[in-house]
Amino acid sequence: MPFKTILVYLSSKARAEHLMRAAVPLARRSNAHLIGLYVLPPPVIASDLGMSYGAQIVTLDRSALEKEAEEIRKLFEASTKGETLVAEWRLVDSLEPDTVRTVIEHARASDIVVVSQSDSSTDPSPLIDAPERLTLESGRPVLIVPHTGRFDHIGERVLVAWNNRREASRAVFDALPLLEQARDVRVLWINPQKDGVEPEQLPTAEIAAALSRHGVKATAAYSVARDIDAGNEILSRAADEGADL
């Protein structure tokens, strides 16, 4: 079943175009309803400032955020112009300072959420953990787009990191609509011997077979990382195989 409702969380103008390059092709592929979301935080006045001075700061800050929201709206509409998919812009006033909570509430009615990887050098502190919180609290699949690089095509060549645990199983089957449309899917277990599985048993064969029953072009593989950790081995294999997801 394809993704039919896709929410893209556009938290800043700096990465809005970057995210739309990933979200629009994803929505186009399944003729999905694409929602662009921007959340305005409630006004907050510092308690140690005089009322007139504090109100001025709040007005200026609110004005800057509303201006950014309008610029992102124009970019969202320009990015979806001419597409056959339905594009919906949402500008939401959060009722609580925790704006990520508001995003989570909107995410729960979506098939998948597209969000940018955090960048500690530019992101405001309340949004640093937005990708992690969406992943853990929304109950929905979350596609985290790296904050550097271009990702005009996502999900054509897929590398699945597998270890036969709950998190891996949930991630694979949540991503099934993407895997079904991929040209090639490689299911990889790094250092299976550390989990008590002999590499020669090809421990990813069962999940690859299960995916194949859904029409996924899946192949099983394993790798023994001798000089680097599992995370870097996955990145190395992804680069070697030209994986885009």
The 10s digit of each residue's pLDDT in 160-200 is 999 899 999 999 999 999 999 999 999 998 876 666 666 56
Other C-beta atoms lying within 10 Å of the C-beta of residue 125: 7
Q: Note whether 5-145 and 157-241 share their fold.
A: yes
Which ranges in the chain belong to alpha helices (H)?
Answer: 13-29, 51-80, 99-107, 130-137, 166-174, 176-181, 205-212, 230-241
Chain segment 124-133, per-residue pLDDT in tens:
656 678 899 9
Chain position carrying tokens 């294999």: 237
pLDDT score at 69: 94
The CATH classification number of 157-241 equals 3.40.50.620
pTM, to two decimals: 0.86
The low-confidence residues of the chain, meaning pLDDT below 70, are 44-60, 120-127, 192-201
pLDDT at 53: 44
Instruction: Please report the pLDDT score of residue 126 as a whole number.
Output: 61
Cα separation, 241 vs 235, in Å, equals 10
Q: Can you give the pLDDT at residue 57?
A: 46
The fold adopted by the segment(s) 5-145 is Rossmann fold (3.40.50)
Torsion of CA 55, 53, 64, 143, to 10 degrees: -70
Enumerate the domain spans of the chain.
5-145, 157-241
Sheet with 157-161, edge to edge strand ranges: 157-161, 184-190, 218-223
Full DSSP string of 179-197: HHH-SEEEEEEESGGGGT-
